[in-house]
Amino acid sequence: MAIIKPHGSDELNPLFVYDTAENEALQKEASGLTSILVSSATAANAVMMGAGYFNPLTGYMNKADALSVANNMKTTSGLFWPTPVLNLVENAGSVKAGDRIALKDPNVEGNPVLAVMDVEAVEEFSDEDMALISEKVYAPSPDEAHPGVDAFNAQGKVILSGPIKVLNFSYFQDEFPDTFRTAVEIRNEIAEHGWKKVVAFQTRNPMHLAHEELCHMAMDRLGCDGLVIHMLLGKLKPGDIPAPVRDAAIRKMVELYFPKNSAMVTGYGFDMLYAGPREGVLHAVFRQNMGATHFIVGRDHAGVGDHYGAFDAQTIFDNEVPAGALDIEIFKADHTAYSKKLGKVMMMCEAENHTKDDFVLLSGTKVREMLGRGEAPPKEFSRPEVADILISYYRSIAK
């Protein structure tokens, strides 16, 4: 059985320029091109296209495609896609359609060139367009700030669209050499393992016992021979635990509590959108591109605050994703927690004759407070070896 096909094409077409001579020639050419310092979101989009995660996109979307994706989850040509992939700027200056420009990285010292772009159009969103995209993609509560909407609005309204060639992977390869992987590399590793059924787990947080058991549960029920733990390495909201700490905690958990060669710990270079259901669908698209056959979508997936219902990121696959749009299958998970009655981690919806008091439930705030005081959460909530790594981190920031 061959590895699952990427989304929208027979072969994966990453936009990174792997040919060394061509890459060097483009770097040299870029030094003489008009350059634009892009937003962090635009840079993250370039990294994802370069790595093959956003296959089959060839570059940044134009206004018509962005609005079509916001409204209908498909481009004007009919490609299924859940979120606009944009290069937004406040002012395009002298840049016009037909120009070739260099995109400079805002997240690396010295702002090196991240990609070369052939500009096909320079357009502008109206205030109404921006509001429509915010409403359709992020679905914010009207009376509550939304970090994804704020980041979207902060970039500007001018749209530069057209194909790109990506020259590097920003800071991700240097800062996370053991963890950052392209979709190409993960596909290759899945093939090397000989895995046929592969489930992916998305995380932007450390994994506690419930997350670990959810992965075991999914593997057992689906009959998977491989798990890819795939963590977000880009920008998060203030207060989230930094990627190196998460990475260390997750690696320790896999080392101690998963069979050898059954789980890969990897990461991808993207900024969190906090777009709830739409981001859940985007997560499924790029997990298919990296070779996963199944993807765990849990409670409050990619959510923030109270903007979304607990299971909106699951029901969108039933209600809004057209049949056949994706080949990857979704494993729907409820909140998982340790049952004091049964002495094991359960999906709460599957635990009969239970009340909330029958589970070990701790809020994120409560866990952070405990770790900050140097206290390990109960063993029914977190592995002690994982807690030790998190306690060290909280001690370091308290100094």
Residue 379: C-alpha distances to residues 212, 217, 229, 387 (Å): 13, 19, 22, 9
pLDDT band at 299 (very low <50, low <70, confident <90, very high): confident
Q: Are 287 and 323 in contact, with CB atoms under 8 Å apart?
A: no
Best mean pLDDT range from 58-72, 223-237, 299-313: 58-72
pLDDT of residue 227: 98
Single out the catalytic residue among 100, 204, 251, 368: 204
Nearest to 138 by CA among 310, 304, 333, 315: 304
Q: Which of 100, 205, 251, 368 is catalytic?
A: 205
- Does the pLDDT value for residue 1 go beyond 60? no
| Residue 185 pLDDT exceeds 60 | yes
Residue 258, φ and ψ in degrees, nearest 5:
-125, 145
Token pair belonging to 160: 């530069």
Q: Which residues lie closer than 8 Å to 229 by C-beta, 6 or more apart?
A: 201, 203, 207, 215, 250, 254, 263, 264, 265, 266
Q: How far apart are the first and last CA of the chain?
A: 54
Q: How many helices (H) and strands (E) does the chain have?
A: 13, 15
Q: Give the lowest-confidence range in 27-31, 181-185, 197-201, 235-239.
A: 235-239
> SS3 for 178?
coil
C-alpha separations of 228 from 44, 137, 254, 276 in Å = 21, 27, 11, 21
Whose CA is closest to 67, among 54, 56, 81, 55?
81
pLDDT at position 163 = 98
Least Cα distance to 165 among 247, 210, 102, 215 occurs for 102
Task: Report residue 204's pLDDT band, with 50, 70 and 90 as the boundaries.
Answer: confident
Model confidence pLDDT, tens digit, residues 217-257: 999 999 999 999 999 998 766 777 888 899 999 999 999 99
pTM over 0.85: yes
What integer pLDDT is reported at residue 32 of this predicted model?
97
Strands 294-297 and 329-332: parallel
Q: In the chain, which ranges are continuous DSSP H helix?
A: 20-30, 40-50, 63-72, 127-133, 147-153, 172-175, 183-193, 209-222, 243-257, 276-289, 312-319, 364-372, 384-398
CA separation for the pair 340, 356 (Å, rounded): 10
Query: What is the overall mean pLDDT for the chain?
Result: 94
pLDDT of residue 237: 67
261 belongs to the catalytic site: no
Dist. CA 224–CA 262, nearest whole Å: 9
Q: Where are the domains of the chain?
A: 20-173, 176-398
Give me the DSSP letters along 196-249. Answer: SSEEEEEESS---HHHHHHHHHHHHHHT-SEEEEEEE-S---TTSPPHHHHHHH
Cα–Cα distance measured from residue 266 to residue 247, given in angstroms and rounded to the nearest whole number: 9
Q: Which fold has domain 176-398?
A: Rossmann fold (3.40.50)
Environment class of 109 (CB within 10 Å of its CB; exposed 0-12, middle 13-18, buried 19+): exposed
- For residue 213, what pLDDT is reported? 95
pLDDT tens digit string along 119-166?
999 999 999 999 999 999 998 777 778 889 999 999 999 999 999 999
**pLDDT given for residue 243 in this prediction:** 85
Residue 205 appears among annotated catalytic residues: yes
In the Cβ-directed half-sphere of 344, how many Cα atoms lie within 13 Å? 9
Architecture of domain 20-173: Roll (3.10)
Tokens of 317: 């696959």
Calpha distance 388→124 (Å, rounded)? 50
Mean pLDDT of the region 74-85: 98
* pLDDT score at 230: 97
Across 102-106, 277-281, 309-313, least confident range: 309-313
Q: Please give the distance of CA 116 from its chain centroid, rounded to a whole number.
A: 24
